[in-house]
Amino acid sequence: MRRKYLATCNPGLEDVTAEEVGSVLPGSRIVEVRDKRGRVVFESPYGEKWLASLYTLRSTHSISLLLLEARVGKDRGALAKIRDLSRSSGAARLIPEGASFAVRAERIGEGHEYTSIDIARYAGDGIGAAYEEVYGVKPLVRLGAPSIVFHAEVDDEIFRLGVLIAGEKSMHRRGYRVYDHPAALKPTIAYGLLRLAGARDGSTIMDPMCGGGTVAIEAALLFESPESIICVDKSPRHIRGAVLNSMAARVSSRIRFLVHDATRLEEKISPGSVDYVASNPPYGIRLGDPWSVRRLYDRFLPSLHRVMKGGGRASIITADSEYFEKAARRAGFRVLHARKVRHGDLWASVLVLEA
């Protein structure tokens, strides 16, 4: 039996998630991709093989079995609709008798006359009323460590209700981050950068400003036999942290760590030897000094170009895309692709370059 599911992901990387879902989950069909919303709706048959494959996904934050989708509007009247829809959704029958439940809610878009807290409360009221009809007792609502977690959201005017099937903890939390870099990149974005660069097994992959090593670790977990994975940072502290993280992920033996300046890469890395690059250089915005970052780009990009193979590709995330693109062209790169991606509380740009 085919069912409908909702995958959440990093906004701006929905197509990466759609491609991964289609390739990893057997028999899946993409129904809708909500660009810049971090939402991918797909159909797939549910089974043991499906569940096993689910936990190999590297671009998703959560997956819910969708119980309903309906238009409810943005005014306060939508809340009564949310309660009634939740009551008739069949969600209550998914709660074993005596088990606890909770509703986690999101509101996406602008102009709503209600909050995500309102959505959770009214959806929970509807599910609770249906539970009482089924079992004759009030349900146990537990906000901390509930047995069953429902995901409720209003995306513009569309209300979705589902039950989380991959656990409540976001799938982007890999568990290997022993050392937390102050500007750490989400592993889901790191995976997206690798995919956008076109990185392949059996190639040389580098992050020239690796911080806590997230890109290198994701590459090591993604590919079975890369030729080489190189993790470079000028900070000995960050490299020590990257080593600790890679050890926690059990991939430290597959990564080459270098304490070195990314503006002089050719001193440690053979010219023309790197196939793919994925990286998250400093932004400068939070530091209040974007000019220092521009100077860094002017020195870093020519050095990067020298160590990359002709036709090699780099996927870089930056908050100063206009200047970065100009600096990349001056360094000899072609700009193949650019897009906006949500990075923390910022909409940054990802540029894919070709050497």
Cβ neighbours of residue 184 closer than 8 Å, sequence gap 6 or more: 177, 211, 212, 214
Please name each of the domains of the chain with its CATH number: 2-164 (3.30.2130.30), 187-354 (3.40.50.150)
Q: Chain-wide mean pLDDT for the chain?
A: 92
Q: Which pair of tokens denotes residue 228? A: 């080489």
* pLDDT one digit per residue (tens) for the chain, 355 residues: 788 999 999 999 999 999 999 999 888 999 999 899 999 999 988 777 788 888 889 999 999 999 999 999 999 999 999 999 999 999 999 999 889 999 999 999 999 999 999 999 999 999 999 999 989 998 888 888 899 999 999 999 999 999 998 877 887 888 899 988 877 889 999 999 999 999 999 999 999 999 999 999 999 999 988 889 999 999 999 999 999 999 999 999 999 999 999 999 999 999 999 999 999 998 754 545 677 889 999 999 999 999 999 999 999 999 889 999 999 999 999 999 999 999 888 899 999 999 9
Evaluate whether 213 touches 244 at the Cβ level (below 8 Å): no
pLDDT tens digit sequence for 309-351: 999 999 999 988 999 999 999 999 999 999 999 988 889 999 9
Give residue 284's pLDDT: 57
Evaluate whether 95 touches 147 at the Cβ level (below 8 Å): yes
pLDDT tens digit sequence for 60-73: 999 999 999 999 99
pLDDT tens digit sequence for 207-229: 999 999 999 999 999 998 888 99
Cβ neighbours of residue 36 closer than 8 Å, sequence gap 6 or more: 11, 12, 14, 340, 342
